[in-house]
Amino acid sequence: MLEKLETDGPNQHGLDEAVKELCKLYLNPAIKIGISKSFVPKSNHNYRSRKINKPGFDRECRERRKRYFRIRKKLKNSQSHRDSLILKTEAKMYKKFIKHKMNLFCKKNIHHKLRLLKSKNPKEYWNILNISKNNNTHSMHINNFYDHFKELNENNVENLNDFDMNSIMTTNNDVINSDFTLDEINNLANKLKCNKANGIDNVINEFIRFSPIEVRFALVSLFNIILNSGIVPEDWCISLIRPLYKNKGSKEDANNYRGISLISCIGKLFTALINKRLADYVNNNKILGQEQAGFRSNYSTADHIFVLNSIIGIYLNKINKKYYFVHLLITRKHLI
């Protein structure tokens, strides 16, 4: 299908069908071996699976858990008052033991672990932070979220009808506009992070990262068709919005939630390739100054904070002069 698009010329319908066929190359084998499943919400009553996956639930906790459920299974159907008291006592001791172990785990080197996990393993980082969080679900209807995020997006989208497509300056820049190569895709695909959410196409980063060379060649062909035609698959333009509670205010108010947009992982790989080319181009040609730290790798606002703090220290301690901060507000009208 990709070869037909290259010869006959790409169109929106044909490109969408090609992307769906490419997704099937990832999903069909994954479904057969059972590593791709439909999403099933976790039950709040599934005590065993919820507890055993908690951070800090070590071997001693698991042994204590086995002992409790062994006694529970033995005495659950007993009509004896003595057995009922034994079961209640054992349950109380088990819960107290687990609570004690969880408290020890949270207190032991917790600050050091959080600093390391925030960058190396964000999923484990948030699991630790949420260890004592109440997971009670809200009762707000999904239509309230739909109306909230619809209104929010409508207020933030500018009027595209006022944008003149002819005003875009086009240049024959071979560095930016040349076709993608297999090496470019391999370099970024091999660095994709695992355990990330998927978009509407259900393809996750693990499928792309560990895919065979034949599928990588298909990605090369697909990305080059999109790059040369400018036609973007519709599935890449659809995001799944997941509301996250801000931990303040009423849970029945949609304004107290922030939305996380989950988009296609294949689409994110394509945009990562574009971003890599643009970043390399501006860095190699020294278009951006050293003071520009936003959205650049190996740069951080902490560097600017350090410089500012050093300047203030020099002026206060050595030069003994007054210092002033001038805030420049540049609006869009000033740039036109």
Residue (of 63, 91, 60, 64) closest to 75 by Cα position? 91
Residue (of 263, 299, 262, 261) closest to 282 by Cα position? 299
Q: Where are the beta strands (DSSP E) in the chain?
A: 240-245, 257-262
166 within domain boundaries: no
Determine the pLDDT at residue 291. Answer: 77
Determine the pLDDT at residue 165. Answer: 62
pTM score above 0.75: no
DSSP 8-state symbol, 245: E
Residues 187 and 330 in one domain: no
CB-CB contact of 94 with 65 (8 Å):
yes
Cα 50 from Cα 68, distance rounded (Å): 16
Residue (of 92, 89, 73, 70) closest to 81 by Cα position? 89
Residue (of 270, 168, 269) closest to 226 by Cα position? 270
Determine the pLDDT at residue 131. Answer: 60
Residues 185 and 258 in one domain: yes
Determine the pLDDT at residue 48. Answer: 46
Residues 88 and 33 in one domain: no
Residues 195 and 264 in one domain: yes
Determine the pLDDT at residue 97. Answer: 87
Classified as helix, coil or strand, 45 is coil
Determine the pLDDT at residue 186. Answer: 93
The single residue listed with the structure tokens 């992307």 is: 19
Structural domain including 326 reads 301-335
Question: Dihedrals φ, ψ of 21, to 5°?
Answer: -65, -35
Determine the pLDDT at residue 263. Answer: 92
Residues 233 and 310 in one domain: no
Cα 231 from Cα 221, distance rounded (Å): 14
Residues 257 and 193 in one domain: yes
The single residue listed with the structure tokens 């390399």 is: 280
Q: List, as one string, the DSSP characters of 185-225.
A: HHHHHTTPPSS----TT---HHHHHT--HHHHHHHHHHHHH
* Full pLDDT tens readout for the chain, 336 residues: 677 776 677 788 888 888 888 888 888 888 877 776 555 444 444 444 444 667 677 888 888 888 888 888 888 777 788 888 888 888 888 888 888 888 777 777 677 777 777 777 777 777 777 664 545 455 677 888 888 888 887 766 555 566 666 666 666 777 788 899 999 999 999 999 888 888 898 899 999 999 899 899 999 999 999 998 888 999 999 888 888 888 888 888 888 898 889 999 999 999 999 999 988 888 888 888 877 877 788 888 888 888 888 888 887 777 666 666 655 444 444 444
Q: How far apart, in Å, do the first and last CA atoms of the chain sit?
A: 44
265 within domain boundaries: yes
Q: How long a stretch of residues is the chain? A: 336
Residues 116 and 6 in one domain: no
292 within domain boundaries: no
Residues 279 and 142 in one domain: yes
Determine the pLDDT at residue 170. Answer: 64
The total of structural domains in the chain comes to 3
Residues 149 and 7 in one domain: yes
Residues 194 and 270 in one domain: yes
Residues 33 and 146 in one domain: yes
291 within domain boundaries: no
